[in-house]
Amino acid sequence: MKIKRHTIYGYLFILPWLIGFLLLVMWPMAQSFYYSLNSMRITPVGLQFRYVGLNNYLDVWLKDMFFLQELLGFALNTLLRVPVIVVFALIIAVLLNQQIKFKGTFRTIFFLPVIVASGPVINQLIDQGATSIPLVNQDIIIGLLAQIFPLFIASVVADLFSQIIVILWYSGVQILIFLAVLQKIDPSLYEAAKIDGGSSWECFWKITLPTIKPIVLINMVYTLVSLANSGQNPIIELIYANMFDATRGYGFASAMAWMYAIIIGIMLIIMALAFRERKTKRAF
């Protein structure tokens, strides 16, 4: 079989990424999977493994009282935060797509938190209360919500208010993605709609939204993954804590990480199914 020259060029161009992917993603993943099947000890003379099969996976569900609890909290949080972030990003992107002065400056301002507020910076800001709106009284919100919902739901919704600023800070990349696709929409579509008497509101619902629907899915996936990997995510902290726990260690933590990854994967599949392109039935 003769390999075409441009195919070789293609592979050469992605070779650095492939090497990086193999070394920095596939190898650690394979390591963590191997660890998850073992009870592991980090001795001064090297790592020791004792094969335990799927026991670590069972223990994640049967012995760790926090995993399920944190997982439910995360699912509920995600259910609330993903739409908030994506809708906010869409609104801002639509606004920034208008012909306004200082457009570049505004775009920079909205993207800046992505660069500035990461890792320890965001932790400091949260600790100092800079990510909540002082006028929003948390206790009153919880009190009101608790009259309608069970407390664990009420506290999650109230948490949304208390961290509203940091949640919106997560929307920088999504705004950028929406902006890119909004600029790709053919202006003649809007022009034709206007000629036919369509309002801006109708244009948004009939042209903009259907056109960018696949990108909404991409942004939802991006948001879910970034929330799942966030340093503020308690499950990530739980996995870290278990890594260094006396009776659990890397094997247990790896199993927990894999279980978590599978659950995130299931959430992504549900999301993809909900937003998949449906073939329109044609009437004959």
Partner 1 sequence: MTRKALGKLLVMLFVLLVIAVGCSSDDTGSNTESDNGVNDGAESGTLPEMTDDEITLTYASWKNHELNEFLADKFMEKYPNITVEVVPLDTEGWNDNLTNLASTGELPDVFWYNGNVDIAIRNGWLGDFTEYFEADPETEDLLDTMVDPGYFDGERKMAAATDYFPYAVFLDENLFERMNVDMPSPDWTYNEMIDLIQEMTVPEQGIFGYNTGGKLLTIAPIVNQDAVGEFGWDGEKYDLTTDWAEAANLRAEFIRSGVHAPLFDTDEAEAAFGDREIWPASTGKVAIQIDAWWTVGAFSEPEFTDKGMKWVPYVVPKGDNAETENKPAYIDFGTISPATEHPREAYELMKFFGWSKDGWEAKLEAFKTMEDGNGNLVFKHPDGLPLIKDQEIWDELRTLLPDSHYHDDFLERAKNPVSLGGRALPGFETFLGEVYFGGEYGDVETAITNGEVNAHDIAPDLTEKANEYYEAALEELNY
Which residues from 153-172 bind partner 1, rule CB under 8 A? none
Q: Is 65 in the site for partner 1 (CB under 8 A)?
A: yes
* Cβ-based nearer residue to partner 1, 47 or 116: 47
The minimum distance between CB 32 and partner 1, in angstroms, equals 9
The minimum distance between CB 65 and partner 1, in angstroms, equals 7
Structure tokens at 51: 């094969």
Q: Please select the residue that binds partner 1; options are 12, 13, 43, 148, rule is CB under 8 A.
A: 43
Q: Is 45 in the site for partner 1 (CB under 8 A)?
A: yes
Which residues from 226-265 bind partner 1, rule CB under 8 A? 244-247, 249
Please say whether the beta carbons of 151 and 159 come within 8 A: no
* Cβ-based nearer residue to partner 1, 31 or 118: 31
Cα–Cα distance, 213 to 233 (Å, whole number): 28
In sequence order, which ranges of 63-203 are alpha helices (DSSP H)?
Answer: 65-96, 103-116, 120-127, 138-148, 151-162, 164-169, 172-182, 187-195, 200-203
Please say whether the beta carbons of 97 and 200 come within 8 A: no
Class of residue 253 by CB neighbours under 10 A (exposed 0-12, middle 13-18, buried 19+): buried
Cα–Cα distance, 25 to 15 (Å, whole number): 15
The minimum distance between CB 83 and partner 1, in angstroms, equals 30
The minimum distance between CB 45 and partner 1, in angstroms, equals 5
The minimum distance between CB 72 and partner 1, in angstroms, equals 17
Cα–Cα distance, 64 to 210 (Å, whole number): 44
Q: Please select the residue that binds partner 1; options are 2, 5, 16, 46, rule is CB under 8 A.
A: 46
Residue 219 region by backbone torsions, left for phi larger than 0, else alpha for psi between -120 and 50, else beta: alpha
* Cβ-based nearer residue to partner 1, 46 or 104: 46
Which residues from 19-38 bind partner 1, rule CB under 8 A? 22, 26-27, 29-31, 33-34
Q: Is 213 in the site for partner 1 (CB under 8 A)?
A: no
Number of residues that bind partner 1 (CB under 8 A): 25
Q: Please select the residue that binds partner 1; options are 4, 17, 44, 127, rule is CB under 8 A.
A: 44
Structure tokens at 260: 């978590």
The minimum distance between CB 202 and partner 1, in angstroms, equals 38
Please say whether the beta carbons of 37 and 236 come within 8 A: no
How many C-beta atoms surround the C-beta of residue 59 within 10 A?
18
Contact footprint for partner 1 (CB under 8 A) = 22, 26-27, 29-31, 33-34, 41-50, 65-66, 244-247, 249
